[in-house]
């Protein structure tokens, strides 16, 4: 019989190795998000903040940490004497995961497989920026950066870790600080974030 030639597949986009973040289909979060939110900041920054995932305002604007959590982060930077513009700011997961609650979109914690799927993009950012210190904001970021759930936020606060030739400093997630009910405990958590950033800055010397 006749042999029908099969067209080369080279022109097909590779779903596992997407070239553009906004075209990523490595997990299913893209379906419900407005857009992917890439990191922002100097491409040679010495400090990298890693958050969890974009929130409602970040999803709509396309920029990380511009909503309430971002404003708290601004205050942390100001109090630590570090210019936020010198820091590369990104998230472990690049699409907003949410569930409807009335008219609002309520944040949902990303699943382990979503964090793992998104390592692809965090690794690209780490390779490009090559920061000396990563500041992991909260438990999801810590899990993502360390690639293990065996280290808790509580146990690593204030103790820099040496990971793959870089420093990793753990601190609270700014949204956690915003949710702390008592004013005194909130101030304490805020101060811990300030101290963590000062520590990250000292590690550069």
Does 170 participate in binding ligand URA (rule CB under 6 A)? Answer: no
Provide, rounded to whole angstroms, the least separation between the CB of residue 52 and ligand URA. 4
| Nearer of residues 175 and 196 to ligand URA, judged by Cβ | 175
Does 144 participate in binding ligand URA (rule CB under 6 A)? Answer: no
Please choose, from the candidates 86, 77, 65, the residue with its C-alpha nearest in 3D space to the C-alpha of residue 196: 77
| Nearer of residues 92 and 126 to ligand URA, judged by Cβ | 92
**Helix (H, G, I), strand (E, B), or coil: what is residue 85?**
helix
Provide, rounded to whole angstroms, the least separation between the CB of residue 58 and ligand URA. 4
Q: How many CB atoms lie within 10 A of CB 97?
A: 22
Q: CA-CA distance, 133 to 197, in Å (whole number)?
A: 10
Alpha helices per DSSP H over the chain: 56-61, 68-80, 112-129, 138-146, 153-156, 174-179, 183-202
Rule CB under 6 A: choose which of 144, 170, 171, 175 binds ligand URA.
175
Q: CA-CA distance, 92 to 21, in Å (whole number)?
A: 13
- Contact yes or no for 59/35 (Cβ under 8 A): yes
| Nearer of residues 138 and 160 to ligand URA, judged by Cβ | 138
| Nearer of residues 106 and 204 to ligand URA, judged by Cβ | 106
Rule CB under 6 A: choose which of 38, 54, 131, 160 binds ligand URA.
54
**Helix (H, G, I), strand (E, B), or coil: what is residue 135?**
strand
Does 91 participate in binding ligand URA (rule CB under 6 A)? Answer: yes
- What is the x/- site pattern for ligand URA, positions 57-76, by CB under 6 A? -x-----xx-x-xx------
Query: Residues in the site for ligand URA, rule: CB under 6 A?
Result: 51-55, 58, 64-65, 67, 69-70, 91, 175
């Amino acid at each position: 019989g006749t042999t029908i030639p099969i067209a080369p597949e080279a022109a097909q986009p590779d779903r596992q190795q997407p070239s553009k973040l906004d075209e990523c289909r490595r997990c299913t979060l893209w379906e419900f998000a407005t857009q992917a939110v890439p990191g922002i900041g100097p491409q040679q920054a010495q400090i990298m903040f890693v958050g969890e995932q974009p929130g409602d305002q970040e999803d709509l604007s396309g920029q990380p940490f511009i909503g309430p959590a971002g404003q708290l982060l601004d205050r942390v930077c100001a109090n630590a004497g570090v210019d936020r513009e010198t820091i590369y700011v990104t998230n472990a997961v690049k699409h907003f995961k949410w569930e409807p609650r009335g008219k609002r979109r309520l944040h949902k914690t990303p699943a382990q497989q979503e964090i793992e799927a998104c390592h692809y993009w965090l690794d690209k950012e780490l390779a490009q920026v090559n920061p000396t210190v990563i500041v992991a904001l909260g438990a999801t970021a810590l899990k993502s950066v360390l690639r293990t759930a065996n280290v808790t936020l509580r146990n690593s606060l204030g103790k820099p870790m040496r990971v793959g030739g870089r420093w990793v400093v753990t601190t609270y997630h700014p949204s956690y600080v915003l949710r702390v009910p008592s004013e005194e405990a909130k101030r304490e958590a805020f101060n811990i974030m300030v101290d963590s950033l000062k520590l990250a800055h000292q590690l550069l010397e």
